[in-house]
Every structure is written in structure tokens, then in C-alpha cells.
């Protein structure tokens, strides 16, 4: 009986999130259908209010957004869409905060992002070669951008220098696993083995989609690597093995209730960042649907069940 009641409560809470999805479709997704970079009513208070967790309680996970999801659009559009979706946490790709900009330009972009009400959670992915000068330059960029963390795809030979720079700049470094195509860091366990005995500033950015394609359960990976899990990229797959089978979050095979419960249990403090990689020319509707599902799941797993 308790299991059936819990299941009904979970389904009902997630279903309630559909109202947010429908409202988002009316409020701002029209431009996405055509690939337009215009947003109707990006400051709608109605969307923001509806996006709050059930019961008005603060969320126990930082649901956020990787700016790579909007890589075909300029920063101003990305920030407008974040506001529309009531997103408060973001990580940034260099398409939105160019690594080639002079320091003052990077600091100006940081100020613009913060003025938009966004907490900057980090940036990347940055490919790291075994080149001390390049690594120092990347940390200078991160400092100017206000990144407390960078997620990287490093040459294993560069780890000593990365560790040294992480200490010097007091910026966390999270190795991003990229699935079976990546020879160095296919699964979280590969990155964890490389950093577990190093300075605590070195850790992981677990991409749950790439993790699944290695035959690894993302939920178990988060539990096993919990002491070095600093960032997360969220996507969903229709097939456990196919990279191109991405779907909106909630429509695939990943068990998000179990994932969110586990993240709460292990005390995860980083961003749970939607990285929506499909439909790059018109991503808004898919992002809205994915964020609505994530919020619904979070509300469901944090709402006590009455007996």
C-alpha cells in the first residue's frame, strides 16, 4: 500500500509540472519553433511563480543549465531564456565567455551575467594539453570569469600541473567523462582513479548520458565518486548505447528519481546542469520540458508521503 501510494504521489507531482511546461510553451517557446532568437515576455512573473517547487519549499539540489545548450545563440539570448525558465545557476561554454577575450572583456561579461541574477557555477569543457603556459592562461581566464570550477578534458600528463594551479588559484578542476569514444576519460571511474589521491580541488564532472553509454549506472557512479563529484551534466537517452538517441529529460531510460534521491543522500552541492544537445537551432521548448520534468522529480522526491 505504501509503495502504491508513493508511486501515485510521485506521478501526480510530476504531472503537475506539465502545467509549467504548457505555460512555458505559451509564454516564450514560440520563437524556438522557428529558430528565432526573439523571446516573447522573457520577464513573465507567472512563469517564475509556477516554476517554484511544490509547497514553496527551497530546492535541495541546484537545478541549473549549461550554456552549451544554447550554443547557437548569443549570451543575451541565453540569459533571456534562463530568466524565462527561472534558472538561477549556470555554467558557461566559451562561445558565451570567449577564452580569447582580454581580461577586462571577460570581467564585463561576468558582471552582465551576475546582473541577470545568475550564479556562475563554472565553465568548460576546456581541453588541457601538457603545457604549463596554456594551463596558467586557462586559470587566469577562469579567475576573470568568476568560475569557482572548470571542467576539463585533460592530457593525463598534465595532471601534476593542473593540481598545482588548482592550489595556486583555489579553483576546482573537474574532469569531464566523454563516453566510450574518449580514450582517457570514458567513465567516471577512470577520472576518479586519477584524482582520488590528489588535492581535494581535483574532482569530477559526471556526464550521465556519456556515463550510461559506457555500461555504467550513473546513479551508482555518483555514489561511488561522491567525495569528488563537483559538477554534473544532465541529459537523457532513448537507448543506453547510442550517442545520438538523446531525448528530452524524462523521455529516456535514465532513472531520475533514483538519481536525485542519491544526490540528496550524498549531500551533493554542485549544479545539476541540464546540457540539452539536441535541436541546437531551436532548443527552447526541449529545455522547458526537460527543466519542468527535473523540477517535478525533485519536488516528488523531497515531498514527504502522508500515510
Q: Rounded distance, CA 240 to CA 245, Å?
A: 8
The pLDDT assigned to 97 comes to: 97
Q: What is the mean pLDDT of residues 150-154?
A: 96
Asked if residues 233 and 209 have their Cβ atoms less than 8 Å apart, the reply is: yes
pLDDT exceeds cutoff 80 at 35: no
Domains of the chain, CATH where assigned: 2-302 (3.20.20.150)
The H or E element containing residue 121 is: strand 119-128
To the question of pTM greater than 0.85 for the whole model, the response is: no
Least confident residue range of 31-35, 170-174, 207-211: 31-35
Grid cell digits, residue 174 = 573537474
What are 213-268's pLDDT values in tens digits? Answer: 999 999 999 999 999 999 999 999 999 887 888 899 999 999 999 999 999 999 99
- When the pLDDT of each residue in the chain is averaged and rounded to a whole number, the result is 85
161 confidence band (pLDDT: 50, 70, 90):
very high
Q: Which grid coordinates are listed for 246?
A: 538523446
User: How confident is the model over 106-121, as pLDDT tens digits?
Assistant: 999 999 999 999 999 9
Is the pLDDT confidence value at 126 over 60? yes
Alpha carbons 45 and 6: distance in angstroms, whole number? 32
**What are the backbone dihedrals phi and psi of residue 283, each rounded to the nearest 5 degrees, phi first?**
-90, -10
Query: Grid coordinates standing for 166?
Result: 588548482
User: HEC states along 191-210?
Assistant: HHHHHCCCCCCEEEEEEHHH
- Its sign, for the CA torsion 149, 116, 70, 241, is positive
Q: Which of 238, 195, 232 is nearest to 211 (CA)?
A: 232
- On the question of pLDDT at 282 being above 80, the answer is yes
> How would residue 60 be classed by pLDDT, with cut points 50, 70 and 90?
confident
Reported confidence tier of residue 305, pLDDT bands at 50, 70, 90: low
25 has a pLDDT exceeding 50: no
SS3 label, residue 254: coil
Amino acid at each position: 500500500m505504501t509503495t502504491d501510494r508513493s508511486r501515485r504521489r510521485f506521478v501526480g507531482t510530476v504531472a503537475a509540472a506539465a502545467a509549467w511546461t504548457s505555460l512555458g510553451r505559451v509564454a516564450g517557446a514560440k520563437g524556438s519553433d522557428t529558430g528565432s532568437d526573439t523571446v516573447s515576455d522573457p520577464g513573465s512573473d507567472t512563469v517564475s511563480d509556477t516554476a517554484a517547487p511544490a509547497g514553496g519549499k527551497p530546492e535541495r539540489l541546484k537545478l541549473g543549465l549549461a550554456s552549451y545548450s544554447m550554443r547557437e545563440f548569443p549570451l543575451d539570448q541565453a540569459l533571456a531564456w534562463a530568466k524565462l525558465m527561472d534558472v538561477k545557476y549556470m555554467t558557461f561554454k566559451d562561445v558565451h565567455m570567449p577564452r580569447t577575450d582580454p581580461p577586462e572583456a571577460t570581467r564585463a561579461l561576468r558582471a552582465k551575467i551576475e546582473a541577470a541574477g545568475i550564479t556562475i557555477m563554472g565553465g568548460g569543457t576546456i581541453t588541457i594539453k601538457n603545457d604549463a603556459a596554456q594551463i596558467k592562461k586557462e586559470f587566469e581566464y577562469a579567475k576573470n570569469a568568476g568560475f569557482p570550477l572548470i571542467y576539463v578534458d585533460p592530457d593525463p600528463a598534465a595532471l601534476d600541473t593542473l593540481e598545482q594551479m588548482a592550489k595556486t588559484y583555489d579553483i576546482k578542476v573537474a574532469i569531464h567523462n566523454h563516453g566510450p569514444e574518449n580514450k582517457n576519460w570514458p567513465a567516471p571511474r577512470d577520472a576518479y582513479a586519477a584524482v582520488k589521491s590528489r588535492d581535494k580541488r581535483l574532482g569530477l564532472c559526471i556526464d550521465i548520458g556519456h556515463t550510461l553509454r559506457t555500461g555504467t549506472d550513473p546513479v551508482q557512479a555518483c555514489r561511488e565518486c561522491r567525495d569528488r563529484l563537483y559538477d554534473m551534466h544532465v541529459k537523457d537517452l532513448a537507448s543506453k548505447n547510442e550517442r545520438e538517441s538523446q531525448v528530452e529529460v524524462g523521455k529516456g531510460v535514465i532513472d531520475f528519481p533514483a538519481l536525485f534521491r542519491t544526490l540528496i543522500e550524498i549531500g551533493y552541492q554542485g549544479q545539476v546542469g541540464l546540457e540539452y544537445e539536441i535541436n541546437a537551432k531551436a532548443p527552447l521548448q526541449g529545455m522547458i520540458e526537460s527543466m519542468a520534468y527535473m523540477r517535478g522529480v525533485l519536488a516528488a522526491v523531497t515531498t514527504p508521503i502522508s500515510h
